[in-house]
A = this chain, B = another copy of it.
Amino acid sequence: MSNAKLPDEPAPRMSEHRAADAMVAEIEQDIVTGKLANGSPLPPERDLMGRFGISRTVVREAIATLTTRGLLESKPRYRPIVRSPGYDAAFSAVGGVVMHLLKQNNGVKTLYDVRIFLEASLVRHAALHARKDDIVALREALERNHAAIHDPVEFDNTDVAFHAVFYAIPGNPVFPAVHRAFVSWLFEHWQSMNRSVEQNLIYYAGHKAIFDAIIDRDPEAAEKALLSHLGEAWETVRGTF
């Protein structure tokens, strides 16, 4: 809430100053300007403390800050890796909180409902605005899904991939990122359930119904099919937590 401090010049404010801010700001610049290439490791902490004239304590704090901002990716014993900010980074930053939210009352259902709402809008959008290549992508995804009906693992993958197409159609990079976030948050909750072939057939039928409605350019039917499909899916997994 009140911690939205923009990286502005610290001229007027003073008491709000943190020693790590200087390094954070500069490294931030180096990353967005490409001076620090994406994927490259951050210089050693001992170098940084020399470069900025700060103690290692502060260097490490700065690194922590940059990590939470998604500009660095740091693993336990390794050098932090530079990451240019992206939409996926944004969502992965919330992973920690979301885990708690999912555990509390109706947390999973609440998030699943959001997914339903969004995806219903997306299929409606697809029915209205999907272009030829979008349709092709959908058809191919559907066929791959059909071909994997007897392969539990692959069916899940093609299932996710089919839905992913809808998130890609608007052409806005936020939606695919949202989808990946949904998958990573929700899927693992019922990942272990053993799908039967009959189950897969039902799911595939759901996908097919959505696809057909898209072909027919019928947003109402598409939305209805999607709602039905996701409703079924929920019923089969609601007991797994």
With A3-B75, A4-B92, A64-B64: A173-B97 Cβ-Cβ less than 8 Å:
no
- Docked complex: A63-91 residues within 8 A CB-CB of B: 64, 68-71, 73, 75-77, 85-91
Q: Which of A157-176 contact B (CB under 8 A)?
A: 170, 172-175
Cβ of A227 within 8 Å of any chain B Cβ, yes or no, is no
Digitize A208-237: 1 where CB-to-B-CB distance is under 8 Å, 0 elsewhere. 000000000000000000000000000000
Binary contact track A18-56/B, C-beta < 8 Å → 1, others 0: 100000000010001000000000000000000000000
Answer whether A90 and B85 are a contact pair too, CB < 8 Å, given A110-B174, A113-B172, A175-B114.
Answer: no
- Among residues of B, the one whose C-beta sits closest to the C-beta of A98 is B90
Contact surface of A with B, Cβ cutoff 8 Å: 1-4, 6-7, 15-16, 18, 28, 32, 57, 60-61, 64, 68-71, 73, 75-77, 85-101, 103-104, 110-111, 113-114, 117-118, 120-121, 125, 170, 172-175, 184
A-B contact pairs, 6 of them (CB 8 A): A4-B95, A6-B99, A68-B93, A71-B100, A90-B98, A114-B175
- Which 5 pairs show the lowest CB-CB distances between chains A and B? A69-B96, A121-B121, A85-B100, A70-B97, A90-B97
